[in-house]
A and B are shown apart, each in its own frame.
Chain A
Amino acid sequence: MTATAPADSGEATGGFGITRSSPDATAGTWVALVVVALLAVLPFVGGDSTQRTLVGILTYLSLAQMWNLLAGFAGLITIGQQAFVGVGAYTLLVTAERNGIDPFLSIVAAGLLCAVLSAPVALFAFRLRGGYFAIGTWVIAEVFRLIALEIGPLEAGNVQSLTRRNALSGYEIDQLRDLIYWSSLALAAGATLVVVLVLRSRLGLALRAVRDDEAGARGLGIDVTRTRLIVWMLASGWIGMTGALIHLNSQSINAPDAFSVLLWTALVIFIVVIGGVGSTTGPIIGVIVFWLVSDEITEWFDLDDPWRFIILGSLAALFAVFAPRGIYGWLQSWRPLQFFPVRRRLVGPGLEE
Chain B
Amino acid sequence: MTKENESAVSPIVAVPAPTPRLEMRDIAKRFGATVALEGVSLCVAPGEVHALVGENGAGKSTLMKVLSGAHRPDRGQMWLDGQPFAPPNPLAARHAGVAMIYQELSLAPHLTVEENIVLGLEPTRWGWIRRGAVRARATEALRHFAHAEIAPDLPVSRLPLPAQQLVEIARALAVGCRVLVLDEPTSSLARQDVERLFGLIRQLKQQGLAIVYISHVLEEVKEVSDRLTVLRDGRSVGGGQTAALPIAEIIRLMVGREAKELYPRSQRQPGELVLQVTDLAGTGKPIQASLELRRGEVLGLAGLMGAGRTELLRCLFGLHAVRRGQIKVGVWSGPASPLRRWQQGVGLLSEDRQREGLAVALSVADNLTLSRLTGFGPVGLVLPGRQAAAAWRWIEQLNIRCRAPHQPVAALSGGNQQKVALARLLQHDVDVLLLDEPTRGIDVAAKATIYQLIDELAAGAPSAGRKPRAVLVVSSYLPELMGICDRIAVMCRGRLGPARPVRELSEHALMLEATGQATAN
The answer to whether A and B come from one shared complex is no
Q: Which residues of A contact B (CB under 8 A)?
A: none
Q: Which residues of B contact A (CB under 8 A)?
A: none
